[in-house]
Amino acid sequence: MKITCAKDRLNHAVQTVQKAVAAKATLPILSGIYLSAQDNKLELQATDYEIGISCTIDAEVDIPGQIVLSGRYFQELVKRLPGESVEISSSGEDRTIKITAGSSQFNLLSLPAEEFPVLKSLFDKTTGINSLTIKDNVLRDLIKRTVFACATEESRPIFTGALLELTEQDVRMVATNTHRLALKKSLTENTNSSNALKIVIPSKVLNELARLLSSELPVDISICWEKNKVAFNFEDVYLESRLIEGQYPDYNRVIPPDFGTIATINTALFMDAVERVSLMAKDGEYNVIKFQFNPNEVIITSNNPDIGKAYESVPVTTEGTDITIAFNAKYVTDILKNIGSSELYFSLNTPLSPASIKPTNDDNYTYIITPVRTN
Amino acid sequence: MKITCAKDRLNHAVQTVQKAVAAKATLPILSGIYLSAQDNKLELQATDYEIGISCTIDAEVDIPGQIVLSGRYFQELVKRLPGESVEISSSGEDRTIKITAGSSQFNLLSLPAEEFPVLKSLFDKTTGINSLTIKDNVLRDLIKRTVFACATEESRPIFTGALLELTEQDVRMVATNTHRLALKKSLTENTNSSNALKIVIPSKVLNELARLLSSELPVDISICWEKNKVAFNFEDVYLESRLIEGQYPDYNRVIPPDFGTIATINTALFMDAVERVSLMAKDGEYNVIKFQFNPNEVIITSNNPDIGKAYESVPVTTEGTDITIAFNAKYVTDILKNIGSSELYFSLNTPLSPASIKPTNDDNYTYIITPVRTN
């Protein structure tokens, strides 16, 4: 192999695929980045078998070929190379790859390219495959508004991922750890789906995908999936992920159809008060804080015998009956950080039934939170 | 106790003293911040017996008194309080302290104030005490240019601190871990010292002191010391530290009087090249990289059988004999990050004798580095 390419493009490609490089590689080859050069293109790939990412850039290809370089050292090196362009060539004699830029010259040991599990694009399959097209800003929003609600502990794997579902009216994402649930819908007319979509994608992959969806102008994302896999294709990137198997629970049953109390609250004031009150609850077993909804204010309190007591009052407009209820403070602050709206509705029924927090300006975003029983 | 003060000033005082709050307190009282109110002043103190910091701010004192609050919770709370002013009062009935700001109200458990080891200012002593006055920017510069060269491991405690010394011509700071040494002098005419100064201050304390010396306009710092202690006084802050006992070695013997080779190098180009070459040395036992000084270039190379080889060429102007020498890469990059000059002199004698790196624009700053023997 012998190629020349722009340093900035190479750095972009390396940064794009590097999150798929296995951190603790059970197989040494998975700690590498695969480079394949042909037809004036250089493709970089990395995979840890959960997530696989490929990025293709323009290159001047003098001699086509495939090599694998240590992900860690190649990434660190490319980031720091001087000048505008980089030349990469294999010697053929030994296992080293020569990387030249300006007056810098490096010989990196390579890994055996024939051992690398090269990604095969799902989009190239002709049978048993389903597909959908969606705008990147829509997908990014679905992810960012929900993925934080996934479970972090692995005891029930299905909840470590988020559900991506296509209904007749919308495309939606749902995440829950069974104590709280986030649902975001996007009304879609333009989705061009060949089949039903109901898949559970690991939260780690979704976070990585959201990071890569950073184009300034909206671009189309093609999604295609089969039984155990989903793949995303946009610009110069191909990303595939294993799916989490199992039956996702019926989340519609969790969402109360109506509420006896609805409070309208300023998000920033509420957020600050909840964060201060939760300081005095931090070491408590469940980080529990109490909310007393009155017609014109919500009184937020906590009491930790080892630290002290907190009392806050935030102005609200409450319709319906007064109610006192307790929540895990973290589950409240999580949604306040992600709600993206200056005002919210906090809707409740009884001290022991699920409540809802919604932005006032987006009826397609719902967050359900289960209260904590207190004495 | 009952006081009212400006929230921003209180936050400033808490942030100033909080680095002296014991992280892992052997004595529970040392995890607290001591507040003392009298004569329209509120003084905050914290100490872990190595470092002690006090900060005094204006306050409206209704009832004088002393209390101790948990450093951790008080700090987190004050940072987040709403509004402009804060009221702090003790109830007298129980151990809780009421903190009120806007519509926020907190009752923090207090610690027994009578157990707190209240700092007694060295400046109040009348006998056995020495003092010196220095500008804050001068002291900050002395610290920043040297303290990184201290030893981090504790096997020889004297090297975990830096020497502050007053000579007839200058005030100077020296730090070494025995493999490299940094010396920065500041010519002083205005120091008003009553006695010889030669003390070793823990690097941790110096780093904290440099952080606090951030005033925009130069201010005077009073320094005073006795056998085991040094204290610094500036603006509203009093900081005291234990001294490291023992004989600091004669660093003048380490500095070569002259050199056979002197290379003039662009700092930024040299830094980038050294960092890239050290990538291929990282996992090596000593992170060793080689420098070959020729009349017009320095060739920098490394070779790690597990990673690869690096080769860089940086233009230099070398006077004297050509020389090839090896150094621990970290000891070279450390000085390049702190040198504060766009050009430097790299001065050498033989492959096994100490070399010097100096800024071209500051004859009062010297860095000595011991080479590594290679085959």
CB contact under 8 A, B108 and A70: no
Given a cut of 90, whether residue B317 has pLDDT beyond it is yes
For residue A308, give the chain B residue with the closest CA: B108
The pLDDT value recorded for residue B281 is 86
pLDDT band at A129 (very low <50, low <70, confident <90, very high): confident
Q: Which two tokens stand for residue B274?
A: 């050294």
Residues of B in contact with A103 (CB under 8 A): 312-314
The pLDDT value recorded for residue B138 is 94
Would the CATH topology of A122-251 be identical to that of A256-369?
A: yes
Q: Does A299 touch chain B (CB under 8 A)?
A: no
DSSP element (H, E) containing B132: strand B130-135
Question: Spelled out in words, what is the top-level CATH class assigned to the domain A2-115?
Answer: alpha beta
Query: What residues have CB less than 8 Å from B165, skipping those under 6 apart?
Result: B171, B172, B173, B174, B197, B198, B199
CB contact under 8 A, A279 and B82: no
Query: Among the listed ranges A103-107, A178-182, B48-52, B193-197, which one has the minimum average pLDDT value?
Result: B193-197
Q: How far apart are CA A188 and CA B145, in angstroms?
A: 60
Query: Residues B199-227: what's their mean pLDDT?
Result: 92
- Domains in chain B: boundaries: 2-115, 122-251, 257-369
Q: A77 by DSSP, 3-state: which?
A: helix
The pLDDT value recorded for residue B15 is 96
| Closest of B115, B84, B118 to residue B5, by C-alpha | B84
pLDDT band at A56 (very low <50, low <70, confident <90, very high): very high
The pLDDT value recorded for residue A146 is 98
Q: Percent of chain A having pLDDT more than 90?
A: 84
Q: Percent of chain B having pLDDT more than 70?
A: 96
Q: Does B300 touch chain A (CB under 8 A)?
A: no
pLDDT band at B34 (very low <50, low <70, confident <90, very high): very high
Pairing between β-strand A130-135 and β-strand A220-225 as defined by DSSP bridges = antiparallel
Pairing between β-strand B365-369 and β-strand B180-187 as defined by DSSP bridges = antiparallel
Given a cut of 70, whether residue B25 has pLDDT beyond it is no
The pLDDT value recorded for residue A79 is 95
Query: Residues A180-202: what's their mean pLDDT?
Result: 82
Q: How far apart are CA A364 and CA A361, in angstroms?
A: 9
Helix axes B71-80, A267-279, angle to 10 degrees: 170
The pLDDT value recorded for residue A306 is 87
Q: Choose, out of B275, B309, B336, the residue to mutate when testing the contact with A (most A CBs < 10 Å).
A: B309
Distance from CA of A36 to the nearest CA of B (A): 21
| Closest of A84, A118, A116, A115 to residue A100, by C-alpha | A84
Query: Residues A206-229: what's their mean pLDDT?
Result: 91
Distance from CA of B207 to the nearest CA of A (A): 29
CB contact under 8 A, B77 and A276: yes
The pLDDT value recorded for residue B358 is 97
Given a cut of 70, whether residue A332 has pLDDT beyond it is yes
Query: Residues B355-367: what's their mean pLDDT?
Result: 97
Given a cut of 90, whether residue B192 has pLDDT beyond it is no
Query: Residues B249-270: what's their mean pLDDT?
Result: 96
Given a cut of 70, whether residue A191 has pLDDT beyond it is no
For residue B280, give the chain A residue with the closest CA: A73
Given a cut of 90, whether residue A139 has pLDDT beyond it is yes
pLDDT band at B208 (very low <50, low <70, confident <90, very high): very high
Given a cut of 70, whether residue A86 has pLDDT beyond it is yes
CB contact under 8 A, B80 and A310: no
Farthest-apart Cα atoms in chain A, separation? 81
Q: How far apart are CA B166 and CA B185, in angstroms?
A: 10
The pLDDT value recorded for residue A65 is 96
Q: Which two tokens stand for residue A292?
A: 């007393």
Least CB–CB distance from A308: residue in B81, B109, B311: B109
Indicate the fold that domain A256-369 takes in CATH: DNA Polymerase III; Chain A, domain 2 (3.10.150)
CB contact under 8 A, A106 and B306: no
CB contact under 8 A, B107 and A275: no
Residue A192, CA distances (Å) to A126, A164, A224, B209 in order: 17, 15, 11, 63
Return the DSSP state at B40: T
Distance from CA of A291 to the nearest CA of B (A): 14
The pLDDT value recorded for residue B227 is 87
Residues of A in contact with B307 (CB under 8 A): 70, 73, 108-109
Given a cut of 80, whether residue B286 has pLDDT beyond it is no
Show the 3-state SS of A146-187. CHHHCCCCCCCHHHHEEEEEECCCEEEEEEECCCEEEEEEEE
Q: What share of chain A is helix, strand, coil (3-state, %, to 5)?
A: 25, 45, 35
Given a cut of 70, whether residue A189 has pLDDT beyond it is no
pLDDT band at B193 (very low <50, low <70, confident <90, very high): low
Residues of B in contact with A95 (CB under 8 A): none
Q: Does B362 touch chain A (CB under 8 A)?
A: no
Given a cut of 80, whether residue B158 has pLDDT beyond it is yes
Q: Does A353 touch chain B (CB under 8 A)?
A: no
Query: Residues B131-158: what's their mean pLDDT?
Result: 94
Q: How far apart are CA B322 and CA B338, in angstroms?
A: 27
Query: Residues A320-346: what's their mean pLDDT?
Result: 96
Q: Does B309 touch chain A (CB under 8 A)?
A: yes
Given a cut of 80, whether residue B87 has pLDDT beyond it is yes
CB contact under 8 A, B309 and A279: no
The pLDDT value recorded for residue A25 is 66
Q: Does B296 touch chain A (CB under 8 A)?
A: no
* Average of per-residue pLDDT values in chain A: 93
For residue A283, give the chain B residue with the closest CA: B73
Least CB–CB distance from B309: residue in A106, A275, A307: A106
Least CB–CB distance from A73: residue in B279, B311, B314: B279
Query: Residues B201-206: what's their mean pLDDT?
Result: 97
Least CB–CB distance from A109: residue in B106, B109, B307: B307
Residue B362, CA distances (Å) to B120, B187, B355, B367 in order: 39, 12, 17, 12
CB contact under 8 A, A106 and B77: no
Indicate the fold that domain B257-369 takes in CATH: DNA Polymerase III; Chain A, domain 2 (3.10.150)
Q: Choose, out of A86, A96, A104, A110, the residue to mutate when testing the contact with B (most B CBs < 10 Å).
A: A104
Number of C-beta neighbours around residue A106 at 10 A: 26
The pLDDT value recorded for residue B230 is 96
Where do runs of H (alpha helix) occur along chain A? 7-17, 71-80, 136-144, 203-212, 267-279, 329-338
Q: Choose, out of A276, A304, A314, the residue to mutate when testing the contact with B (most B CBs < 10 Å).
A: A276
For residue B77, give the chain A residue with the closest CA: A276
Given a cut of 90, whether residue A148 has pLDDT beyond it is yes
Least CB–CB distance from B272: residue in A82, A309, A312: A82
The pLDDT value recorded for residue B93 is 73
The pLDDT value recorded for residue B375 is 66
The pLDDT value recorded for residue B374 is 82
- Chain segment B241-255, per-residue pLDDT in tens: 999 999 999 999 999
pLDDT band at A29 (very low <50, low <70, confident <90, very high): very high
Distance from CA of B271 to the nearest CA of A (A): 11
Indicate the fold that domain B122-251 takes in CATH: DNA Polymerase III; Chain A, domain 2 (3.10.150)
